[in-house]
Amino acid sequence: MRDYKTSYKILKSSLEEKGVNVSKVEKKLKALKIETPSWGYSDSGTRFAIFKQKGAAKNVKEKIQDAAEVHKVTGICPSIALHIPWDVTDNWNALLEYSLSLGIKPGAINPNLFQDPDYKLGSLCNPDGKVRKKAINHVLECIDIAKALKSKDISLWLGDGTNYPGQDDMRERKHRLEDSLKEIYDNLQDDMRILIEYKFFEPAFYNTEIADWGMAYNLCMKLGNRAMVLVDLGHHALGTNIEQIVAYLLDEGKLGGFHFNNKKYADDDLTVGSINPYEFFLIFNELVSAEEDGIKADIAYMIDQCHNLKPKIEEMIQSVENIQKTYAKALIVDRKSLKKFQQDEDIIMAEKIITEAFETDITPLLFKVREEMGVPLDPLEFFRDSGYLEKIQIQR
């Protein structure tokens, strides 16, 4: 790997011939920030079983330790998303101090509105006003936690829906949801955001309250400027054109964040970029295209995966590397030529520009960036050789 520099020079020369500003690309890669999820470091499974792994994090401090290790070997993961009450502690100030001591900031705070038995018929949409109030109060508690941890984002996924026709009035549930969200929104600090996630089905199997990006967008528009749509890559029906959704939300100024993962069937929580890497590249292509066109967006790049079979930390590193690699490929698209071919209605050449960037071996460029950042050229290999996993298996 240390002899990558010859390959880097060849790649750089090739890219610059196409008008790509390689120094600018490297600067953007160094500025990339990806948030890892606390729940990705602890034991998880399927509906049928929990698959325990030796050394898996058992509390929020151990999750932060593992997140710090991922950041150490990648250099681009300085924050950790927390889930309440999974990550609850009796001293938030002490947790913040501990987290910062490891070089990690608390990131998005995720309320849990799906596990409590009271939420069997819904949380923010429940027909019982007492249950709705309980759900609202939980989110307000999460806002207070975010204040204590100096976090700016409340990431809200809602499992509400119905399982049977006639179970409840759909329009009434919509009204309850709007009223509940309005109360939550009004309690945000001025520098806070609420990121509203959507999912086309599950756990409710008849209707889901926020089933697609249009419903989430509509709610955000009604709430105000600090309500943004969060796109989870696993939350769409098969064949959905996610990159078009991304482009639309970017143009509307309503794309607030991502939950990166991958799926084969339905929200499978697979390694980012492992099933359809070309689709993932096309999503990043829209993000870079919008940025190049001057669209300024504050987008939270977050991973949302429960690693059931792969080792927790190693799969997290894999996902981070895949995101970094895909972003790099999107950054090297020859946009000047692409625009010309689009204007000339040359479909073949326009597509060729996209596919050439996707098929480029970007590894030498990534090595150069990582070396300048002072992180391992191969983060996964470095982690495997570091002894960290063996250490925590003994300690935990």
**What residues pair up with 31 in beta bridges, in sequence order?**
none
144-200 pLDDT, tens digit each: 999 999 999 999 999 999 999 999 999 999 999 999 999 999 999 999 999 999 999
| Cis bond upstream, residue 364 (ω within 30) | no
pLDDT at 48: 85
**Any long-range contacts for 181-188 (C-beta under 8 Å, 24+ apart)?**
181/124, 181/219, 181/223, 181/227, 182/222, 182/223, 183/136, 184/136, 184/139, 184/140, 184/143, 184/154, 185/223, 185/224, 185/226, 185/227, 187/140, 187/143, 188/143, 188/154, 188/226
pLDDT at 44: 86
pLDDT at 246: 98
Domains of the chain: 23-333 (3.20.20.150)
pLDDT at 319: 98
Backbone angles phi, psi at 256, to 5 degrees: -100, -25
Mean pLDDT per segment of 10 residues, for the chain of length 396 residues? Answer: 88 96 98 98 86 94 98 98 97 98 98 97 98 98 98 98 98 98 98 98 95 98 98 96 98 98 92 97 98 96 92 97 98 97 98 98 98 98 97 96
pLDDT at 2: 66
Cβ of 205: how many Cβ atoms within 10 Å?
Answer: 11
Between CA 241 and CA 340 the distance in angstroms is 24
**What residues pair up with 35 in beta bridges, in sequence order?**
79, 302
Between CA 259 and CA 310 the distance in angstroms is 19
Between CA 330 and CA 175 the distance in angstroms is 41
For residue 362, give both structure tokens.
């970007």
